Amino acid sequence: MLKKMLLAVAAMVVAMGMAFAQVDVNKADQAALDTVKGVGPAKSKAILEERSKGEFKDWADFQKRVKGIGGKNAAKLSEAGLQVNGKSLEGAAAKPADTKVAEAKKEPAKK
């Protein structure tokens, strides 16, 4: 019984590690691209078709050449583990500060 539980825990750890794996658009096949949240069969096919014309130089080149990949979508894909030449999109994980909280602290309480 204990062996089965340990085996199940080990399998979950391996699966979690695979879920957060980094996938480089210049090296991945269609199956690997499909593992990235937000990339389905149609998008991975479009990525591979563009890559057949030449590797992507950087995120700007990737966004320019693959239809449907804009700034917001690129940031989401980068957060999900997609990389271009081994690099994530700069600022993709950064979230803007909550300005309403900062403004509320500056204003004195009204009586």
* pLDDT, tens digit (0-9, with 9 covering 90-100), for 8-40: 665 554 444 445 589 999 999 999 999 999 999
Question: Among 61, 21, 96, which Cα is nearest to 53's?
Answer: 61
Beta bridge partners of 84: 87
pLDDT at 3: 74
Tokens of 35: 């593992």
pTM: 0.64
| Contact between residue 82 and residue 36 where contact means Cβ atoms under 8 Å apart | yes
Q: Per DSSP, which regions of the chain are E strands?
A: 23-24, 82-83
Predicted confidence (pLDDT) per residue in 60-73, tens digit: 999 999 999 999 99
Separation between Cα atoms, residue 80 and residue 38, nearest integer Å: 8
Q: Is 80 exposed, middle or buried (0-12, 13-18, 19+ CB in 10 A)?
A: middle
Helix/strand/coil for 43: helix
